[in-house]
Structure 1
Amino acid sequence: MTAAVKGRRDTYVRIGMMTVGDLGVVGGLAGWILGWRFGHLLVTLSLVLLIAGMWPGKFRPRRSVAGGYVLVGRHLKGVEALDSARKAAHHYRKLAVKHPDEGLVLLAGTLDWQRALLRELGRHEDAEPVAREAVETWREVVTIDSSRRENLSKALHHLTGTLAELNREGELTTLTEEAVVVQRSLVATHEVLLALHLQNLATQLRRTDRWEAALPVAQEAATLYRRLVPTDPDLLEHAAHTVEGFATTLRRLERPLESLQSTQEWVEYERTLADRLPDRRPELAEALRILGNRSADLDHIEDGLTRWRESLELWRQLASEGREHNAGYADACTRIGYGLGVVGETTESLAVFRTGLDVRRTLATLDSRQYDDLLDDLARATQTTLAPEFAVEAVAVAREHADALTADTLARASDQLREAGFTAEAEELSAHRR
């Protein structure tokens, strides 16, 4: 039979079903009104035919017949309902063989219903094989659609209940252990979603400067990720982002020691991520720099120096691997050079500034927009080290590349040079402001 012939046949079958369904509904309603006791049943069956004819997917006779038994059986009780459930399950089994993606779920649900009816009738012996088949069917369903794990968990619970009624203790422990594993996976899924929502909420609260409100939300998210990450490493990036935000929130609320501890946790997450994903190394380098800052702020100078040096070494490696990391390396040198100067490491600070400026000069020759950053870096280096060479170069950059500099950068650089005691140079920078 050709596809065209099959298509015409299906169309004629659908039209016939809808026609019979329409007539049956009208006739059933009339009979019901006139007192015919089977009028409502005729209406129900006719509606099944009508719906089956209009079904948007491919028409499957067994699905329609089984659905009819289910629809009728839901209006019945006791043995009559059980008979409908058995007939529906029979047709769904046949459907599941040819179309498991559709039939298995329908069969499993019908078996659950059949087991419940048998239990209501006190027929626990008969309920046992049905409950077992329901569990096996839900196991198959879960291999296709993991979102059905809750159904499997319930089916296992019902099977263990049936076995307990029959005093068959041998399998109870194994089945209950399986149910616990399934239920734990459901709890974990729900906890992951909760952690993600909490993470998003904390981010929104921080963006609107609601730091007090963000604190407990971020803390709860961080606690959840701490428990979830060991069993689901794919959550590492979310955990790192959450703990970073938590540490920032603590710092804004003037809780520096707790902020430092959370920053250490953030760095460890980033280390693990960088081991798994080398492209994550810039984030690790930045986290190390921030950890160095927060350590130095609490007078943990040696710890701060160690973190800064590790960050710089990582940036140096990255810059040697590709030009795309040069701007990040230059930024890190300027920021860490400033930190080194603050803690009194003058010689090292000067060397780090010079390294960063070399990188920035190279970038500026390739992209004139980098002269703005170069002037910023030179002003910060002058302010930190009081080295005249940087002030002189800042003036030279302003003279030669004034068109590439913004008024804000010139104003900021002028203020920093004036603060460092280079008044004449500061005045010249001010003169170049547009």
Structure 2
Amino acid sequence: MQLDVGTLVLRRFTVGDLQLGERYINMDYIFFMGLAGSEISELYVSYDIACQWHKNIWERMKTFPREVHFLRGKKYCVFLIPKFHLPAHIEACNVLFSFHLTRYVGLTDGEAPERGWSVLNPLASSTMEMGPGMRRDTINDAFNDMNHKKIVNMGKWMLGKVADCVPELITAAAELEELECSLRRLGAGEALEEWRAEVQAWEADAGAPNPFAAKVERRTVVQVRGEMAEEVQKELEEAMEKEGDEDNGALEELHGTELIAMGLQLEELQRDLSFDINGIGNHPSADQKTNVTERGNKLRRKISTWMDAQVLFVPHVAVLRAEEDRARRRIAATQAQPGVQVQHMALWLPSSIRGRVECAVDLYEHEFRLQEAQAHESLDDVRHQLLLRTHLYKHKDAYVRGVKANTRAQTKIEGVEERTRWSELSR
């Protein structure tokens, strides 16, 4: 059984009209009326916002006539999100409402109701001019035609599915057995059994700890900056309560946490500019050259302003920059274009000057916390790019034919691979 906009793919008379947008009252009515009198004991409900819609659904059921009520103890209900819609949800939804992690659903994707719109959408230009009765008759005729074709072709369709699934089942079982044997040879047999026990316990009782949920919380740069901002706020409040504490570092116009955060942002802009310059090639157009030059000029001004502020926190960094300038002047005569490109300018963040000049310990700590969060984000980005590359390869092998289409697909894949390599090297 699958639920979608105004439809319940379960039995007859389960298509309903909606007002503007999907309202719970409409979807609840379609859902409960579609189940009225049904003897189905196990329900797997697929809906693109099931994570929100299923909340308090049993309380809302009480507002409907008693004839459509059913005892939850006699029906096993699982609410899931279709596979195509699931990636747009938060991580918790991807764990709790995934078809991949649910028993007895096989490889069902939950998108069956969506496929019907490809047949029904062409009717919209006609039904919008019809009255209610004619409109419903027309839609019913379309549904009847779809159902008739499904029934007539079901034997051929099922045979094709079985022919595809059986070899894949054999291959998957062999690969799983090989993986488990490898883990046991590596001494991870006990951990494997513990994992299997956790999965079975969770499948038997949804209230048990979910083994698929991430146990390590990954913090983003935004979260870390928020924590640091709260810490600075507390420092400011404590400093303002003290008398004669006007020289406290926390009362400066720019705090150390903000300095490091700005420096890391500038470093990111340098990497982005370098990536784009490398992507242009040896023969850029006039528009590309202008765009890169303007971005470089803006970035150079930002870095210059940031360097002026950095000297207030790390005065000895001026010594490093003076040495860098003297070395640059010595080799300037051998350069075709004297000077350093903005994407190669050294920012001398605390991690770069460690052991060379003095730097406050708290600046090291600020940079470490932000860099750690950046590393987690980079790893997530690499994983995403690898998954995208796998999808593009599979799509290319299955559907792309011809020189033009293959060239376009290969260009996309090369772009993803380049971004993956850049993400791996950017931290």
TM-score bracket, shorter-length normalisation = under 0.3
Provide TM-score, normalisation by structure 2: 0.27
Provide TM-score, normalisation by structure 1: 0.26
Structure 1 or 2: more helix by fraction: 1
**The structure with more radius of gyration:** 1
